């Protein structure tokens, strides 16, 4: 998606590890909900992402934040960054069947994400549904479909009146 739209991708998995002095592919050995994944660490990670995004946007560079954004407050933080910079904002809500997401987590290798099947189960309880206002600027992305990044990129271009060149 980032490549398709020419955006700089900011990943919560990478920035979370940087905040704790770890390399992106280093395993933190953190339990679900603990250490790097505690409430406090999560808040610090989202604040860092907001600060980085704000810096990029103020320099005239486009950004996409790759993060779960399970809570309304997390999504509102990024909406506020876009608003403060006077740039358009959209949420991309990724959806896929649960069994497929768990399969992806089991097979994932060589990536900064430490998502496990256990985490996917817990995240269901952490997710705060999109508000009616959030729904007005949300694109739903079915990540189990082929060419989904290209299709959603086209929808975003159309929504924001961007050129595909």
Give the C-alpha separation, 100 to 15, whole Å. Answer: 26
Question: Residue 60: which domain range?
Answer: 2-160
The set of long-range contacts for 131-139, using a CB threshold of 8 Å and a minimum separation of 24, is 131/72, 134/72, 134/75, 134/91, 137/79, 137/89, 137/90, 137/91, 138/90, 138/91, 138/92, 138/93, 139/90, 139/91, 139/92, 139/93
Element (H, E) at 8: strand 8-11
Can you tell me whether residue 110 is helix, strand or coil?
coil
pLDDT for the residue 44? 97
Give the C-alpha separation, 19 to 148, whole Å. Answer: 32
Render each residue's pLDDT in the chain as its tens digit; 165 residues.
Answer: 788 888 999 999 999 999 999 999 999 999 988 899 999 999 999 999 999 999 999 999 999 999 999 999 999 999 999 999 999 999 999 899 999 999 999 998 889 999 989 889 888 899 999 999 999 999 888 888 777 778 778 877 877 777 665
Do the domain assignments include residue 111?
yes
pLDDT for the residue 32? 86
- Quickly count: other Cβ atoms within 10 Å of residue 78's Cβ: 21
CATH number at residue 135: 3.40.50.300
Do the domain assignments include residue 135?
yes
Do the domain assignments include residue 165?
no
Do the domain assignments include residue 122?
yes
Q: Looking at the 3D structure of the chain, how many domains does it have?
A: 1
Do the domain assignments include residue 116?
yes
Q: 46 Cβ partners below 8 Å, 6+ apart?
A: 12, 67, 74, 77
């Amino acid at each position: 998606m980032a490549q398709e739209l020419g955006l700089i991708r900011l990943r919560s998995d990478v920035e979370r590890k940087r905040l704790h002095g770890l390399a992106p592919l280093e395993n933190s050995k953190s339990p679900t909900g603990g250490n790097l994944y505690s409430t406090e660490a999560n808040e610090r990670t989202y604040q860092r992402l907001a600060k980085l995004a704000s810096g990029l946007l103020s320099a005239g560079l486009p950004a996409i934040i790759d993060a779960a954004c399970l809570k309304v407050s997390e999504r509102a933080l990024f909406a506020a960054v876009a608003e403060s910079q006077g740039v358009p904002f959209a949420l991309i809500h990724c959806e896929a069947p649960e069994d497929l997401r768990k399969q992806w987590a089991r097979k994932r290798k060589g990536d900064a994400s430490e998502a496990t099947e256990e985490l996917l189960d817990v995240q269901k309880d952490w997710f705060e549904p999109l508000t009616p206002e959030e729904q007005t600027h949300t694109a739903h992305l079915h990540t189990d479909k082929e060419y989904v990044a290209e299709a959603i990129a086209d929808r975003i271009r159309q929504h924001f009146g961007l050129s595909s060149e």
